[in-house]
Structure 1
Amino acid sequence: MASTQELNIGQKLNEGKTKQIFEIVDQPGLVLVQSKDQITAGNAVRKDQMEGKAAIANKTTSCVFGLLQESGIKTAFVRQHSDTAFVAAHCEMIPIEWVCRRVATGSFLKRNPGVKEGYRFSPLKMEIFFKDDANNDPQWSEEQLLEAKFCLAGLDIGRCEVDIMSRSTVAIFEILEKAWATQNCTLVDMKIEFGVNVKTQEIVLADVIDNDSWRLWPSGDRSQQKDKQVYRDLKEVTPEAMQMVKRNFEWVSERVKLLLESEANGRVVVLMGSTSDLAHCEKIKKACSSYGIPCVLRVTSAHKGPDETLRIKAEYEGDGIPTVFVAVAGRSNGLGPVMSGNTAYPVINCPPITPDWGSQDVWSSLRLPSGLGCSTILSPDAAAQFAAQIFGLTNHLVWCKLRASMLNTWVGLKVADKKLQACSL
């Protein structure tokens, strides 16, 4: 444990096939997750030592959780501590593996004879497995999970919690699927686990996500698979075969870093007719920043200085950076329509509606001459979201933030409903 000298490591809390969990004495609520060099298959019926696997697995997990947290997914991950360990929130683990499938393969084919390998699930296929090594992790239904009446860290696992885990699994898969697609890799299926944070009693993505957790097919080609299935398929475990497996794991750990990067860029340029609209525009800018999109604020009037408006437009068209223009103009909005009629870039009207003439003023944004395609969105947050959806078509990091935001909105409603029902009883 030389790599953990700067932490006050306490007792071992748990040990699995590929990792150990230690308490951190002077940091209550946190644990150290230490990876091992062991690789297993078939509930450890086959197990071998693979030198360097701990570092590879830890690197992969840290990058994956970094991407998910940057997107907005709630996880137990706190920070990478060393080459082979990371710090996480202490969770009581829910003894369920959530398996999400895009492509039919592996055990699914054995359990569903007649389905051909490669069958594509749209929507995703969800499966639940109870973690019980003695019985080979039997498949469960949602009803069995509900009837188990688990209580972990003081939280009863009921319908609300099961629904949250189910929805979260789909969102997590879709985020990672989108990210891996940038590397021309098909995320075929994956398994994840959730825990209950002992301090907050909140369900979070926990455990690890590494190359043991999924199937990855470069170019969608099973023969090029880079995941643990290569190890499972070995007829004989030889030093040469283990080197091949290790090279595949290293291939994944190197490319997983690229999932945190994006070659696509873009910006939002907010044009306001007057600085009296600055507060409205600042809301747009703040919302853009939550999606990682740069936002520039400019002042120009299409009525009072159309030549300057078109000059500013040309300035942002001339450097090749993909741009969405947002026109903020009250009263008679000429700004958005003039921009839309003179640029091929998207234009969004976001007029600040006032209580006196707002109901009349909004028509200048809605009733446009033919040949103009600017949309009108009254909410500053929604205008930024729409711009993010445009950029999300080519920027997976923006798309991932949007997908996580959808999940978090849904979870917020689910939790609010649960609390309201509890108050009504």
Structure 2
Amino acid sequence: KIYEKITKTGKHLVSTGKEIESEYGIPIVNKRISVTPIALLGGDACKDPEDFVTLAMTLDEAAKNVGVHFIGGYSALVSKGMTKAEKNFLYSIPKALSVTDRVCSSVNLGSTKTGINMDGVRLMGDILLETAKASKEKDSIGCAKLVVFCNAPDDNPFMAGAFHGISEADQVIHVGVSGPGVVKNALEKVRGENFEILCETIKKTAFKVTRVGQLVAKEASKRLGIPFGIIDLSLAPTPAVGDSVAEILCEMGLEYAGAPGTTAALAILNDQVKKGGVMASSYVGGLSGAFIPVSEDQGMIQAVEAGALTLEKLEAMTCVCSVGLDMIAIPGDTKASTISGIIADEMAIGMVNQKTTAVRIIPVIGKGVGDKVEFGGLLGFAPIMPVNTFSCADFVNRGGRIPAPIHSFKN
């Protein structure tokens, strides 16, 4: 039934995208599908992790049939606790991502309303390492398709975190719009001007980019007969030259991303992108802001190699951007408890600040600090970044739940 639903609903998605791309001259780089979280769909039928792996293979087959680049929704929402089926699902992730090509997985471990599921955080440290080992022959690329969230949105079209939220209609068209290069080019024309002009330039550029996304979304909705959902205007970099968020920060006046002032510059960028986007569409959603993945951003890679950008600085930057620690390669011998500690820190930032945060880190088996890893395509390449090796095992192994913050009580 899952295969039939996906292939029937999505059979014209790719061809329609290509038609719109050709007619309007607007590049549509990726076509993607997301489904309702599989931990919910398979909860009754799947009795063990292998059953969930079978579903993952079904998703992969369906994605290849309709021709999309990725399929999201191999996901679980466990911000407060886990059922037996959801635990089985989590245990299935390493194998599921090693035997599929296009499946992306996400796990929501916390929220401002529920707190942080520390049992899930501890377990995901192990799961991430096992996922890395299961795909070690391909530089642990399985972890590039796995992200953990706090406050995961229901309508995010970006991978690896996309899933079809339970609040959504049966079918819906979401469009993710990017364009870091466009913003950088606009800022080059106002180099040295004051902050008011800087902010206005970003905002106006974001408005124009979002209007293009609105056009694509409306046209796709009409041609496919599927309701339009949201526009997600997120400056999502790619490894291509000139398509970098870090280069925008440098154009704002920084020598490298990671220099003093980086968090302030990123806060400006994120806020003005949101303001411009909101004015351009009645339905702005998803993440909408600036992404700071390391391996997918040439400027970020250069900053790491220059010693300007560290894991700790990236964590500080996540307080003001749209996501979190993203596409960061770390040594393959990093302990599971250390990974859990990194996840816990990022979940806490999201929970307390009432925002989405995420962790997509890749412990690359067999490699250490000073090495580089090549993922290829849109995933790019990355230097292995050092991790604080002091132990947090006693903290993450306490078990239970971190309570929701006091300001979560709104009733």
Larger radius of gyration: 1
Question: Into which bin does the TM-score normalised by the smaller protein fall?
Answer: under 0.3
Q: Which has the higher contact order (CA 8 A, sep 6+)?
A: 2
Decide which structure has greater strand share: 1
Q: TM-score, normalised by structure 1?
A: 0.27
Decide which structure has greater helix share: 2
